Chain A
Amino acid sequence: MASGFFSLEAGGSQTIKRLLDVSIAVKDLDAAVQRYSAVLGLEPRLLPPEHYAYPGLKGARFYLGSVAISLVASEEPSTPIAKFLETRGEGLNHISVEVTDLEQDMRHLADKGVTFITDGPLAFPEGRVVFAHPRSLHGVQIAFVEMTPGVDSRAAS
């Protein structure tokens, strides 16, 4: 079956593979981990600052089937998470979806009216990511993630 270029040009692109994660910004990470661990009935995997594409963050993640529920906190006032907590309070900060070819997908998404927070992808331990601006997505911040093959820990668990 013909794939890729022509179907993308026709507007029928299926560049989004799956929902990876919903990320919740919290003020008190320990309290949130305790509550979410109890509610979901799952053990957290703690995420150190090195996990993130942006500095100054820490968090935890729960794998519920193929989708992760992530909690993220920040003690540095200059981070996007700290600013979000300051202006909106605790709540859902972004959702992450997996794409196959980030540069190409960014071009297609830009054609569809999506604007990005950075000009290009940022690296993090599991792959590369670019965040789209919520103003271009009806109020939802979406992280488009290209996973490095073999590093997705949920596939191994």
Chain B
Amino acid sequence: MIKELYGVNIAVKDLDAAVQKYSAILGGEPEWTKPEDFAFPGLRGATIKVGGVSINLISSDNPETSIYKFLESRGEGVFLLSFRVTDLPNDMKDLEAKGVKLVSPEPMTYSGGIVNFGHPKSLHGVQMEFIQPKD
């Protein structure tokens, strides 16, 4: 089941400028994201925490990435919402039964745990990420 909002992911063109502005506004120190902390290659980012929620700024120079394509077609803005779930394989079945279209048939692995993505068309225009963090 969905336990909490984990993060708000914002696609930005100029990562350094965005990190500078968001650090100033949110009053938090940025933590730079390592490439292996992303489920997909070709991304760069930084996280600023607000309360318990991560505001993630993400950028990409690689035209193959979904972030790059999002920036091309929609410009900068919120790209996806991350939610923490308790049991991803079961939650995937449950979400599909409720009409959510998932991007991958199986959970994807990254450094922080396992993850899958809900297609925005099945979520009233919002792309969602469902994360089961490593224990």
Contact = CB atoms under 8 A, between A and B. Distances in A.
Interface of A: 11-19, 22, 24-27, 31-32, 35-36, 38-41, 64-67, 69, 71, 88-92, 95, 97, 109, 112-114, 134, 137-140, 142
B39 interface: no
Given A19-B50, A32-B124, A138-B18, A92 B81 contact: yes
A64 B123 contact: no
Contacts of A69: 5
The B contact surface, by secondary structure, is mixed
A41 B100 CA distance: 13
Interface residues of B, number: 42
B98 to A, nearest CB: 4
Contacts of A13: 27
A91 B27 CA distance: 27
B4 A112 contact: no
Nearest to A29: B124
A139 B5 contact: no
Contacts of A134: 77
B78 A95 contact: yes
B21 interface: yes
Contacts of B52: 18, 65-66
Contacts of A14: 27-28
B124 A26 contact: yes
A65 B98 CA distance: 22
B12 interface: yes
17 contacts: A12-B27, A16-B26, A24-B126, A39-B95, A40-B2, A41-B1, A64-B2, A65-B52, A66-B52, A71-B124, A88-B74, A90-B126, A95-B8, A138-B17, A138-B77, A140-B10, A140-B78
A139 B98 contact: no
